[in-house]
Structure 1
Amino acid sequence: MALPRMRFEALLRPFEELREQGMIQHEIQTNATLITSGWCDLFARYGIGVGVSVDGPAVANINRRDWIGRPAFDRVMRGIGHLRDAGIEFTAICVVSPETIENTDSIADFFETLGCDSVGFNIEEREGDNGDRPQVTYDTARAFWARLIQRRRNGSHLRVRDIDRLFRYLGMVRAGRKATWAASKYDPIPTIAHNGDTVILSPELSGVSAPEYGNFVIGNVLREPLPVMLGRAHKVRYVQEFTTALNMCREGCPLFSFCLGAQAGNRYFECGTFAVAETNYCRNTRQALVMALADVAQEGDESDRIRQT
């Protein structure tokens, strides 16, 4: 969105026939600081899905600043106001840090009133330049997810991406469709840089210097078509390592049927290789979530027993 709006629209036009045929969907993830009513008109005209990055109330966004160090929160909320005024639905992504993760209720209250269609909670990860920060502990993550599930059980209408995904899996299992979930294709997530260099598996790998992996570049779209690159991707070293890791997860993790292997980038940024199974991301985002649901279910059973005595 740093591009002039007319230039952005010019880049969209070549894809319009495909969009009208339902073959592609445009989406944008933004901090909303540059959204105006004009941008909202463009979003509506091209059916662009909008996701907003905001970490909760103002105090939780202390690290979201512009390039000259000014707090961005007021401009984020102004941009969200433009979306709401234009009737444009949007989702939210919230990074939950070690400093904010124990403030579950205040964060959830914020998103309850924000007007977003749903929110995804990304527990702060070790990736890219964010390699020296303290990690959220498993127990803290488990308590965070448990509180969100409790709120939902108590009538909260806030849609949480991560909880929705778990409930969707459990619903398919109950309906005898577990095999359908397990057959889901792994999205290679091709990510194309400004110069055409293309990486796959994790957008966070784009621009990362890793000579041992060829900087994760599998080719360049200015020189060859994307399908050609994807067709030989199974021969790329980091893809082979990730495939090995998925097989390790499949063979050794009781939660694999739900998780399906989590993310590639977290393996590299946490361990320096893709050929590992369990990561801190896996523990905090997948394992802690499942166990939190078990905790809440057990609390409910105990409450029922107490009422019956």
Structure 2
Amino acid sequence: MRDDTLITAYDRRIASVPHTVVLQPTSFCNLDCTYCYLPDRERRSTMTPDVAEAVVLSVSEITDAGPDRRVDVIWHAGEPLALGRRRFADLLESFEVLRQAGRVHHYVQTNATLITDSWCEFLTRYGFRVGVSIDGPAALNVQRVDRAGRPTFSRTIRGIEHLRQAGIGFSGIAVVTADSITRPEPLLDFLARLGCHTAGLNIEEAEGVNTARQQPTLRQATEFWQRTIAWSRRNPGLIIRELARLGDYLALNRTGLGHEWGQRLIDPIPTIAANGDVTLLSPELSGITDPRYDDFRAGNIRDQTLTSILAQAHRLTYVQEFLSGLDRCEATCAFFDFCQGAQAGNRYFENGRLDTTETNYCRTSRQALITALSDTVREEHAA
């Protein structure tokens, strides 16, 4: 296919400038959750300051390119706080000029088990927004165990208490498994009491090394979202990420601006591993070995800037496949107007390729949500 044709296809779907950059400062995690998708969570590979400095150079280039440009830097992967405060500070210092100028916002996704008062001071000093991974009360959090198989609930709660005492707001992200999907109310009641300002509900996905566990079904997910919608109406104080996204979509359609939803381009989400390798479209693809796609590497941040890497992204086999898959989704799926296509990682892990269409992720996280809302409205009209 001609290069200009590939560029046109890419530009139609994917933003040329990222809003989000994911950094993986260490592959290691101090937990061993039963559903974890990370292949290298036992390795203690750590990012070095030269990689962080290369990222800063790229982010500076991106934010220099236009007024009010900002990049959200999300520190993710294993457990970022396992890096330790000194090493983490070594990575953060090079971002300080950009952060203080408002051109970078730091986010960290953590299991909170390592958070202490000293960590709270650290997070405050560098202006972190904090996300905590917790699956609900102790009875629903049993999949989150340490390397000795022991429950970690009390340690996570202790870390959250440190955040609350320090006045640090946080969001919550819960993985909803086949075991817990029938119990949305205890989960949501718990998250509301916990004090998080928003909650994300990630229905368990088959990805990375997590491919053998039973996944929630479409029927289970539809009931889960219907009960979640009902709970949210009774408890409007907690913002549920997925319902907020659906609300944005409906609001645009109600005001005659529905076309704007479809015009929103996909963030390429450059994900930078500890060694500087860059993966696009889905952080879950980082560290995956597959020679067909050159292990999903788009380049290395020490050799090229993100601007340069993204300028060549249309030539990557897995990106081309993903774009073909999106075209097929748009042509065949009744839910595409809202969904805008399944995530790249889900296509690969579930179907083995990225030019495929429907995934269980589509069914449980997008189709079930729309169906649940439709069923709710229909039942209310019939009452």
Bin for the TM-score computed over the shorter chain: over 0.9
CA distance in 2, matches of 1:134, 1:4: 35
For 1:276, what is the secondary structure of its paired residue? coil
Identify which of 68, 75, 87 aligns with 2:167: 87
Give the letter aligned to residue 282 of structure 1. C
Give 1:298 shift: 1.5
CA distance in 1, matches of 2:260, 2:123: 33
Matches within 5 A, 1:1-309: 1-303=81-383
Give 1:37 shift: 1.2
Q: Which runs of 5+ in 2 are unaligned?
A: 1-80
CA distance in 2, matches of 1:241, 1:3: 35
Give 1:262 shift: 2.7
Give the letter aligned to residue 5 of structure 1. R
CA distance in 1, matches of 2:376, 2:259: 27
CA distance in 2, matches of 1:71, 1:135: 22
Q: Which residue of 2 aligns with 1:306?
A: none
CA deviation map 1:62-94 (0-9, x unaligned) = 121122322111100000111111111110110
Q: Which residue of 2 aligns with 1:307?
A: none
Contact 2:342-2:358 within 8 A present in 1 as well? no
Give 1:117 shift: 0.6
For 1:277, what is the secondary structure of its paired residue? coil
Give the letter aligned to residue 243 of structure 2. I
CA distance in 2, matches of 1:91, 1:151: 18
For 1:77, what is the secondary structure of its paired residue? helix
CA distance in 2, matches of 1:115, 1:283: 30
CA distance in 2, matches of 1:121, 1:155: 16
CA distance in 2, matches of 1:77, 1:178: 41
Instruction: Count matched residues.
Output: 303
Percent of aligned pairs sharing the same letter: 49
CA distance in 2, matches of 1:4, 1:162: 33
Q: Which residue of 1 aligns with 2:34?
A: none
Give 1:156 shift: 4.2
TM-score (norm 1): 0.95
Give 1:223 shift: 1.6
Give 1:12 shift: 1.1
Contact 2:287-2:295 within 8 A present in 1 as well? yes
Give the letter aligned to residue 83 of structure 1. L
For 2:105, what is the secondary structure of its paired residue? coil
Give 1:249 shift: 1.4
CA distance in 2, matches of 1:254, 1:226: 35
Give the letter aligned to residue 248 of structure 1. R
For 1:88, what is the secondary structure of its paired residue? coil
Give 1:300 shift: 1.6
Give the letter aligned to residue 379 of structure 2. E
Q: Which runs of 5+ in 1 are unaligned?
A: 304-309
CA distance in 2, matches of 1:59, 1:205: 31
CA distance in 1, matches of 2:238, 2:99: 30
CA distance in 1, matches of 2:138, 2:272: 33
By relative contact order (CA 8 Å, sep 6+), the higher-ranking structure is: 2
Q: Using the TM superposition, name which of 221-230 and 84-93 deviates more.
A: 221-230
Give 1:10 shift: 2.5
For 2:239, what is the secondary structure of its paired residue? coil
Q: Using the TM superposition, name which of 178-187 and 70-79 deviates more.
A: 178-187
CA distance in 1, matches of 2:332, 2:235: 36
Give 1:275 shift: 0.6
CA distance in 1, matches of 2:335, 2:225: 17
CA deviation map 1:159-199 (0-9, x unaligned) = 11001100111011112221222221211111111111111
For 1:169, what is the secondary structure of its paired residue? helix
Give the letter aligned to residue 167 of structure 1. G
Contact 2:330-2:341 within 8 A present in 1 as well? yes
CA distance in 2, matches of 1:16, 1:300: 52
